[in-house]
A and B are shown apart, each in its own frame.
Chain A
Amino acid sequence: MSISRRKFLGWLGAAGLGATVGQKAARAASNKHFDGYPESNGVLFDNTRCIGCRKCEEGCNKVNELPEPDRPFSDLSQLDTKRRTTAKAYTVVNRYDDTGGGKGPLYLKIQCNHCLEPACASVCFVSAFKKTATGAVTYDASVCVGCRYCMIACPFEIPAYQYDNAFSPKVMKCTMCFPRISKGLLPGCVEACPTEALTYGKRGDLLRIGRERIRKFPDRYVDHIYGENEMGGTSWLYLSQVPFKEVGLREDLGVTPAPALTSGALSVVPMVVGLWPVLLGGVYAINKRKEKIEQQEKAQAVAAAVEATEAEAKAKMKEALEFQEKQKEKAIAKAVSQALEEAAKAAEEKVSETPAEDADKKSSKEDS
């Protein structure tokens, strides 16, 4: 069957209607906020306590058995350049000059924030990323196909890729030291921090600690805990002396978890997969049936037409035949009468010779 323009547009309309109806339903269904696993863990970073010693980087490198860096961790001139996390460094510290109100620079440690509803996990179609009940977002290299959607999805630009590993490249990111915290140990960076600028604990406790510090020292802190609600909440939390954007944290992310941003669209997928074949099949069937009926009607009409024509032809033929017959009879009658007339004429002539005899003959013939 070839698709006509009208049919195509019809399908498109049906699909559009289906999609909007589907989305509405999906939004209503996702209208709930996930507050994280109860009793899950997190880390509170306080930049008023950070001295920029990079011990956390060193601790992370050691416990995660990452490759030795090009420059030693004790080389603090590394802080002169702004860095991002790489496949070889799950966490880096950046220095922000001119922020401390004339009291020296401030620092910010970046690593995976372990979102309560991680964007990386929501985009991963093989479920390599998992938000565990411990609070850590873990990565399973064995199922990873290397699509790197996670790297694009992460609002904090954290996951890094082993581009130099040709055969089995992995996505690399902080795991909140999942193996260590499962054993009851502190994450590597937290253990290494000499000033407890990093505090590990239950996320609920950390929020209380953060609020308590702000309450006690209102002049020292911005009245906000970064990560409490950002991107729907993260397990890594931040306290800062200056507005967070001045130390490189994005303030434009909003409080909606990343998966919720796409759940509307993505929830249409099962609808497309499940409902569309039915819908399109239906449209197809309706069209098919319409065609069938059309054909049947056509055939019927043709048959009727043929019948009518045939009957007409028959009638005509009959008429013609009858006419012919009549003509024939007429001709015969005419011929007979003619013959009789001629015979009568001849007989008259004979009568003139023998008129009585002929006349008698003729009349007797006629009577007979």
Chain B
Amino acid sequence: MPKGSALLRGISIIVAVTVASFLVSSTAVFGINEQPKVTPEVRADIIDIDSMKVFGKLERPSVSYLHQRHTEALEKKNKDCSVCHLSEKDPQSEKERMSTRFMRLKDTTRQEVMDIYHNNCIACHNDTKAAKEKSGPVECGECHQQQATVVSSWQPIGMDKSLHYRHSKAMDKKCEKCHHVYNEKTKKLYYAKDQEGTCRYCHRSKTEENRISLRQAAHGACVECHRERTAKNETAGPFNCEGCHEASQQKLIEIVKDVPRMQLNQPDIIFVKTSAADKEKINPLALMNLVPFNHKAHEQYNDSCRVCHHANLTGCEQCHSIQGNEDGGGVTLEQAMHRPNIDQSCIGCHESQQAQPACVGCHISFEKKQPEGTASCANCHAVPKSEIIGVVGKDDEKMMAARALGQRDAVARTYSDADLPETVVIKALSNKYEPVKLPHRKIVTTMVDKIKSNQLANFFHPENGTVCQGCHHNSPASKTPPKCISCHSKPFNAKDPFKPGLIAAYHRQCMECHKAMGIAKPVATDCTACHQKKS
């Protein structure tokens, strides 16, 4: 028996030592990855070559190809794009057009496309290496890497008003240089005057029948033109990747402040309308009052037309009918105008403006919802439809809309200084601190000053007391609004849990507004910054 236990002890010691040494030597047991952390390079010119996808599942990981590194290398050797890209005559424009594909015009067969990449890439890399220059990889795994070593900083870019103006000026207002439409019958592109629109109305994210993807279209048109003009020593935009797609480079793009209006026969001031089809179906008298809309002013507020005109440049009512239909994606006219949290609708866009520093202080504590009650509807739905029943001509309608808008006097307003208490003394915590002197008038006048130049704000703060409702909430606008203590009990009452107690009401009203507006001082946790210590 003693022999046996000695043997057991010996074995257990050996096992323990083995396990311990294994644990120490193999950090993988603890899930520790000992590989040194490589911070991947950040670039805007990464092209993910997964061209073989069209032939089925990829056998190897796709290749992260750095386009600009190659163009720069070629430039040094005085070589151009044709080293890698073939050109063909465009059947529509009858111009030589460079294909964005590598060394081919079409994706023919799996083997052929694969060979094009392998033979040409590897051959060039080998040649460069033979010439004792810095070259690229030739082994399979060096290109087909499982883990990315570069991270993309690619940013999308669009044509805004300023950029469009600079282009049209450079092109001598020859719109046809870029804009075209497709003729279904002749299967050719042609220029149609006054039918210009954003590229993405036709060129979507993926290539469809008869139309190439936005990516292909933009690179074909923009890059080609920039390259040609540069070759001719004319002023031109960038044609390397970074130039358009790197955030820091985008900031360098010149912005023209006062862009003249684009001329596309768009109205100045109109009534928001229902479609002709809807008018036939529905008695016009059963509709809402009319909304006069300042189209011209809204052009100035936005960077491009497609902020609102998301699918085409026609009026909203052309797709969005009162009942909703397929053309409008089932979105009714009412929803198209009132949907929250979306940039294309009136309310959605107006609401997003509340995030501006001057507005957010008050609006952060208000629920985002369509205001109820006829009074708020009448803000926009201002003109009774009976007034335009007899009006026939379009111009008369426009004049009426303009007159309705002209009657609005949107100016920043509040009560006169005499009616605004200069300071409000709060004694709620007078057992611990000296009373707080709230600079009431200063707060009100500062807030009004900040929104003074904002037409939207002025329009939607129509009464003298509207601004006051930022703090004196949940009560009608009035020269003598209720005080905090009128509603908030002291202390917090668990029987009325939806309403904060007085102390929390004060603190939250001040602190949340300050935080939202980015007012750093006084710091929320510094009690004595507001509450003087009791002497």
Please give the residue numbers on chain A whose beta carbons come within 8 Å of chain B beta carbons, in ascending order: 49, 51-53, 76, 103-104, 186, 190-191, 193-196, 199-202, 205-206, 209, 212, 216-217, 219
Q: How far is the CB of B339 from chain A (nearest CB, A)?
A: 14
User: Known: A186-B492, A194-B504, A217-B367. Is A201-B497 also a contact (CB below 8 A)?
Assistant: yes
Q: How far is the CB of B473 from chain A (nearest CB, A)?
A: 13
Q: How far is the CB of B361 from chain A (nearest CB, A)?
A: 13
User: Known: A51-B524, A195-B507. Is A103-B497 also a contact (CB below 8 A)?
Assistant: no
User: Known: A103-B515, A201-B494, A216-B367. Is A196-B508 also a contact (CB below 8 A)?
Assistant: yes
Q: How far is the CB of B160 from chain A (nearest CB, A)?
A: 25
- Beyond the given A196-B508, A200-B492, A201-B494, please list 14 additional residue pairs across the A-B interface where CB-CB is below 8 A: A53-B525, A103-B515, A186-B492, A186-B494, A194-B507, A195-B504, A195-B511, A196-B492, A196-B501, A196-B504, A199-B492, A205-B497, A212-B498, A217-B367
Q: How far is the CB of B516 from chain A (nearest CB, A)?
A: 8
A-B contact pairs, 7 of them (CB 8 A): A51-B511, A190-B492, A194-B504, A196-B501, A209-B498, A216-B367, A219-B368
Contacts of B511 in A (CB 8 A): 51, 195
Q: How far is the CB of B431 from chain A (nearest CB, A)?
A: 14
Q: Which of B491, B497, B527 contacts A199 (CB 8 A)?
A: B497
In whole angstroms, what is the CA distance A166 to B3 when docked?
44
Contacts of B367 in A (CB 8 A): 216-217
In whole angstroms, what is the CA distance A129 to B99 when docked?
76
Q: How far is the CB of A364 from chain B (nearest CB, A)?
A: 99
Contacts of B504 in A (CB 8 A): 193-196
In whole angstroms, what is the CA distance A63 to B223 when docked?
72
Within 8 A of A (CB), among B456-512: 491-492, 494, 497-498, 500-501, 503-504, 507-508, 511
Contacts of A200 in B (CB 8 A): 492, 494
In whole angstroms, what is the CA distance A196 to B494 when docked?
12
Q: How far is the CB of A102 from chain B (nearest CB, A)?
A: 11
In the complex formed, the residue of B with least CB distance to A194 is: B507
Q: Judging by beta carbons under 8 Å apart, are B497 and A49 in contact?
A: no
Size band of the interface chain B makes with A: 10 to 19
In whole angstroms, what is the CA distance A130 to B525 when docked?
37
Contacts of B368 in A (CB 8 A): 217, 219
Contacts of A217 in B (CB 8 A): 367-368
Kindly supply a per-residue 1/0 record for chain B positions 523-535, scoring 1 wherever the CB is within 8 Å of any chain A CB and 0 otherwise. Answer: 0110100000000
Please give the residue numbers on chain B whose beta carbons come within 8 Å of chain A beta carbons, in ascending order: 367-368, 491-492, 494, 497-498, 500-501, 503-504, 507-508, 511, 515, 524-525, 527
In the complex formed, the residue of A with least CB distance to B525 is: A53
Contacts of B515 in A (CB 8 A): 103-104
Q: Judging by beta carbons under 8 Å apart, are B525 and A49 in contact?
A: no
Q: How far is the CB of B33 from chain A (nearest CB, A)?
A: 21
Q: How far is the CB of A12 from chain B (nearest CB, A)?
A: 23
Contacts of A104 in B (CB 8 A): 515
User: Known: A51-B511, A196-B492, A217-B367. Is A209-B497 also a contact (CB below 8 A)?
Assistant: yes
In whole angstroms, what is the CA distance A206 to B511 when docked?
23
Q: Judging by beta carbons under 8 Å apart, are A53 and B497 in contact?
A: no
In the complex formed, the residue of B with least CB distance to A209 is: B497
Question: What 10 A-B pairs have minimum CB-CB distances, sorted nearest first?
Answer: A196-B504, A51-B524, A216-B367, A53-B525, A201-B497, A201-B494, A194-B507, A195-B507, A196-B500, A205-B497
Q: Judging by beta carbons under 8 Å apart, are A194 and B503 in contact?
A: yes
Q: Judging by beta carbons under 8 Å apart, are A53 and B524 in contact?
A: yes
Contacts of A199 in B (CB 8 A): 492, 497
Q: How far is the CB of B342 from chain A (nearest CB, A)?
A: 14
User: Known: A195-B507, A195-B511. Is A76-B494 also a contact (CB below 8 A)?
Assistant: no
Q: Judging by beta carbons under 8 Å apart, are A49 and B491 in contact?
A: no
Q: Judging by beta carbons under 8 Å apart, are B498 and A49 in contact?
A: no
Most buried by B among A51, A200, A219: A51
Most buried by B among A49, A53, A194: A194
In the complex formed, the residue of B with least CB distance to A215 is: B367
Contacts of B503 in A (CB 8 A): 194, 196
Q: How far is the CB of A96 from chain B (nearest CB, A)?
A: 16
In whole angstroms, what is the CA distance A123 to B283 when docked?
73
Most buried by A among B497, B501, B503: B497
In the complex formed, the residue of A with least CB distance to B365 is: A217
In the complex formed, the residue of B with least CB distance to A49 is: B508
Contacts of A190 in B (CB 8 A): 492
Q: Judging by beta carbons under 8 Å apart, are B494 and A52 in contact?
A: no
In the complex formed, the residue of A with least CB distance to B498 is: A209
In the complex formed, the residue of B with least CB distance to A220 is: B364
Contacts of A194 in B (CB 8 A): 503-504, 507
In whole angstroms, what is the CA distance A191 to B501 when docked?
10
Q: Judging by beta carbons under 8 Å apart, are B491 and A186 in contact?
A: yes
Q: Which of B491, B497, B508 contacts A191 (CB 8 A)?
A: B491
Q: How far is the CB of A39 from chain B (nearest CB, A)?
A: 12
Q: How far is the CB of B140 from chain A (nearest CB, A)?
A: 40
In whole angstroms, what is the CA distance A199 to B494 when docked?
8
In the complex formed, the residue of A with least CB distance to B367 is: A216
